Amino acid sequence: MDLPGWCTKCFGTRTVKKAVLLIVLLIIVGACVAAAAAAKPVSLIVDGEVQTLTTKAKTVGAVLEEAGFYARSCDSLTPQAEEKVTSGMEIKLQRAVPVYLKVDKQTRLLYTTAAAAVELLAEEQIAFTAADRILPEPEAALTAGCTVQLIRVTTEMVQEDREIPYQTVYRKDAKLSSGRKKVAVEGKAGVLQTTYEVVYADGVEESRRLVEEKRLAEPVNCVVLIGTKPVPVLAGRSGAAGSVYEGIASYYSDKFAGKKTAYGGVYNPAALTAAFPDKALRGKKLRVTYLKTGRSVEVVVNDFGPHTKGRLIDLSAAAARKIGLLGAGVGKVRLEVL
């Protein structure tokens, strides 16, 4: 390169060349410094994955855009998008994932950056006790689309009363006429109080544990007296009209329907007939009064019987129904020969 003549005259050829070389070096160094000052190294961490970048971007937001990322309002970004980029800066972007939160019988869809279920509950300011259950496990990592459930667990002491059944005791009584029954002592159920520890999960009973049983009242057994005293028969002249008898009546079983009687007839449950142990009254009419109800019926004697000790008369089913004897089966009656 040829230098101007005045430079050569004033400074000499060698001196001028050195100056020019120095100027060129300064220009190169300045350009490198300027370039270095414009490009800054930064660390970009997205969802835990680290990448190192050299960027000329001026703000954090611009760095993300340059790297192909975008921070939504639900995402977590540090520093803020408006912060100026400095050399060696660490930029963290944690993108929110959709999760379902089920609490108090309500399910919501949320976008969160919480790492675990317990963090999500804290983020949503949902209080819970040590007895409550968190599903999945409180420290389990959250994944997109997963469900976090808080089950509220409560415990109560519950008391329940139930009956203790009584027994029925039968005793023979020689003072009571044969075939009669009498309740001497009314039965009464006892009371058993049971205390349980009941566990509820979201208001629904889940389990119960017996804590205590206490008998508040003992049962009283029912005592029924069974008469064994022979029934006296009061009568006038046997077979004569106006004769009166007292004793125990019963009625025919249905199995005898259609069968022959001792006097050659056929037993008809719908007819007003009877069996009596005095053949002199065969074919006679009797008025039968059930002493318990006071109701009477007139029957015709067409059979010999009954054949059970202590019984005075067997009535047809229709006759027993008319005086109210069907339910009891047996009962004390008065007979009048008509």
Amino acid 240: pLDDT: 64
Residue 156, Cβ density class (10 Å: 0-12 exposed, 13-18 middle, ≥19 buried): exposed
Task: Answer for the pair 276, 301: CB distance below 8 angstroms, yes or no.
Answer: yes
DSSP H helices, the chain, are 5-11, 13-38, 60-67, 117-123, 317-323
The length of the chain is: 338
Amino acid 308: pLDDT: 85
Domains and CATH numbers, the chain: 97-151 (3.10.20), 157-227 (2.20.230.10), 232-337 (2.40.40.10)
Q: What is the pTM of this model?
A: 0.50
Over the chain (338 residues), the average pLDDT of each successive run of 10 is: 50 60 64 58 90 90 88 88 90 92 93 91 92 91 92 95 95 80 92 96 94 95 87 51 86 91 93 93 93 93 90 94 92 92
Task: Please give the backbone phi and psi of residue 229, each rounded to the nearest 5 degrees, phi first.
Answer: -70, 130
DSSP annotation of 265 reads -
The closest of 154, 140, 240 to 205, measured between CA atoms, is: 154
- DSSP track, 89-158: -EEEEE--EEEEEEETTEEEEEEE--SBHHHHHHHTT----TTSEEES-TTPBP-TT-EEEEE-EEEEEE
Task: Answer for the pair 233, 332: CB distance below 8 angstroms, yes or no.
Answer: no
Amino acid 234: pLDDT: 46
Structure tokens at 122: 């804290």
Q: Which residue has the tokens 């997205």?
A: 46
Q: How far apart are CA 115 and CA 146, in angstroms?
A: 12
Structure tokens at 49: 């994955």
Q: How far is CA 222 from CA 88, 129, 182, 285, 327, in A?
A: 96, 53, 11, 41, 20
Task: Answer for the pair 55, 40: CB distance below 8 angstroms, yes or no.
Answer: yes
Task: Please give the backbone phi and psi of residue 281, each rounded to the nearest 5 degrees, phi first.
Answer: -95, 10
Amino acid 233: pLDDT: 52
